[in-house]
């Protein structure tokens, strides 16, 4: 399953969000111009591209994704592949491996294999940062069917978080919250483009019905917190 629109023309692609997210990253892991960074499920690579500029990285960060976007960031070394295939030939070691809101697209057996391979690819002081939507405190505006699909997804996220916590019992949990302010018109456009994976399997009629519900339910401008959970795994 691929997701083409998750970081396109949303708050996730805004400079403010990217700056906030990268500030969070740097609080969890000290990086410098010599750092090696891997972003699994990088989308357009705007986050690590911005981080590369901020740190003036000598080596381009590597971003992997199943979708090769035409407008991907030129400051990253992009590879069109899936994570497990990447690690079959990878010989590099990384200071930071980022997995942002893509782990839920994998089966539990694939997640286990990926965790093992990521740990083996860390430098001595390296860290893996895995982000998911916070399944316990979520404020994403939804229509009825979207809410139902989101709850299913969040329940699976809970299982994934428990699995990762058992896999590495030394893992540290952190929380990231970003205040979103967006017009209802823009948000409706995001829904029509299926900006989140739970919308991918909905048909056109279901999307249109959902948009009508959003238009009726919410005011002209939407304000909510985009809340993430981050599991940090160290190389020890």
> Is the CA virtual torsion 97, 200, 151, 224 positive or negative?
positive
Q: Is the pLDDT of residue 114 over 70?
A: yes
Cα separation, 157 vs 198, whole angstroms: 13
The answer to whether residue 22 is domain-embedded is yes
Q: Is the pLDDT of residue 149 over 80?
A: yes
Q: Tell me whether residue 192 is in a domain.
A: no
Which CA distances in Å does 97 have to 111, 112, 150?
Answer: 14, 15, 26
Please write the tens of the pLDDT for every residue from 150-166. 999 999 999 999 999 99
Q: How far apart are CA 74 and CA 46, in angstroms?
A: 9
Q: Is residue 4 part of a domain?
A: no
**pLDDT for 206:** 98
Give a yes or no: residue 184 inside a domain: no
Q: Average pLDDT for residues 105-131, to the nearest whole number?
A: 95
In a domain, 63, yes or no: yes
Domain count of the fold of the chain: 1
The answer to whether residue 191 is domain-embedded is no
**70 in Cβ contact with 43 (< 8 Å):** no
The structure's pTM equals 0.91
For residue 180, the surrounding DSSP H or E stretch is: strand 172-183
- Tens-digit pLDDT profile for residues 40-97: 999 889 999 999 999 999 999 999 999 888 889 999 999 999 999 999 999 999 999 9
pLDDT at 115 over 60: yes
As a whole number, mean pLDDT of residues 3-9 equals 52
- Spatial separation of the C-alpha atoms in residues 236 and 6, rounded to whole Å: 33
Note down the domain range covering 156.
Answer: 11-140+151-179+224-234
Give the length of the chain.
236
Q: Is the pLDDT of residue 2 over 50?
A: no
Residue 1: pLDDT band (50, 70, 90) is very low
Percent of the chain at pLDDT > 70 equals 96
Q: What is the pLDDT of residues 178-215, one digit of tens each?
A: 999 999 999 999 999 898 889 999 999 999 999 999 99
Q: Confirm whether 41 is domain-assigned.
A: yes
CATH number, domain of 89, equals 3.40.50.150
CA dihedral 236, 177, 199, 63 (to 10 degrees): -50
Domain assignment present for residue 37? The answer is: yes
- Give 35's DSSP letter: -
């Amino acid at each position: 399953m691929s997701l083409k629109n998750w970081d396109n023309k949303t708050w996730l692609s805004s400079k403010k969000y990217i700056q906030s997210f990268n500030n969070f990253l740097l609080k969890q892991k000290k990086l410098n111009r010599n750092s090696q960074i891997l972003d699994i499920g990088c989308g357009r690579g705007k986050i690590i591209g911005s981080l590369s500029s901020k740190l003036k990285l000598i080596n381009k960060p590597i971003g992997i994704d199943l979708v090769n976007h035409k407008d991907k960031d030129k400051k990253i070394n992009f590879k069109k592949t899936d994570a497990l295939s990447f690690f079959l030939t990878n010989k590099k070691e990384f200071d930071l491996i980022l997995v942002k809101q893509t782990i839920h697209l994998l089966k539990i057996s694939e997640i286990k294999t990926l965790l093992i391979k990521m740990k083996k690819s860390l430098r001595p002081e390296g860290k893996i940062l895995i982000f998911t939507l916070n399944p316990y405190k979520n404020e994403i505006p939804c229509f009825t069917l979207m809410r139902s699909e989101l709850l299913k997804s969040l329940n699976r996220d809970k299982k994934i978080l428990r699995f990762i916590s058992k896999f590495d019992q030394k893992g540290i949990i952190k929380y990231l919250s970003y205040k979103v302010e967006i017009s209802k018109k823009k948000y409706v456009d995001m829904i029509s483009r299926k900006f989140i994976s739970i919308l991918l399997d909905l048909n056109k009629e279901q999307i249109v019905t959902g948009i009508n519900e959003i238009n009726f339910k919410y005011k002209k401008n939407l304000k909510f917190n985009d809340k993430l959970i981050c599991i940090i795994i160290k190389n020890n």
